[in-house]
Amino acid sequence: MLEVKRRRSESFEAMLRRFSRRMQLSGQLRQAKRNRFRVDQKNKTAAKRSALRRLELHRHYDKLKKMGQLPEPTRSRRRS
């Protein structure tokens, strides 16, 4: 963890600048931004369960499509 203490007669802005500089040099900020949207991988059981669910939904959708029971797709209007 990065720690910066205020020096005697140092303004807050100077201390903040010093902290920001040390943060950039340490690489912690870059790593935090890189891991910001990282998603852990599912375990094998959860991945298989998810894949089976997708297959089942796809089969159900195809069945409804063949029987003509799907609702008509609505087109969204774009505002200009």
Any domain includes 45: yes
* H helices present in the chain, as ranges: 12-26, 28-34, 44-67
Query: Which tens digits make up the pLDDT trace of 51-70?
Result: 999 999 999 999 999 998 88
pLDDT truncated to tens, each residue of the chain (80 aa)? 788 999 999 999 999 999 999 999 999 999 999 999 998 888 999 999 999 999 999 999 999 999 988 877 777 777 76
Domain count for the chain, please give it. 1
Any domain includes 24: yes
Q: Which amino acid is at 68?
A: G
Q: Which amino acid is at 73?
A: P
Any domain includes 38: yes
C-alpha to C-alpha distance for 44 and 24, rounded to whole angstroms? 38
The range of the structural domain enclosing residue 40 comes to 12-67
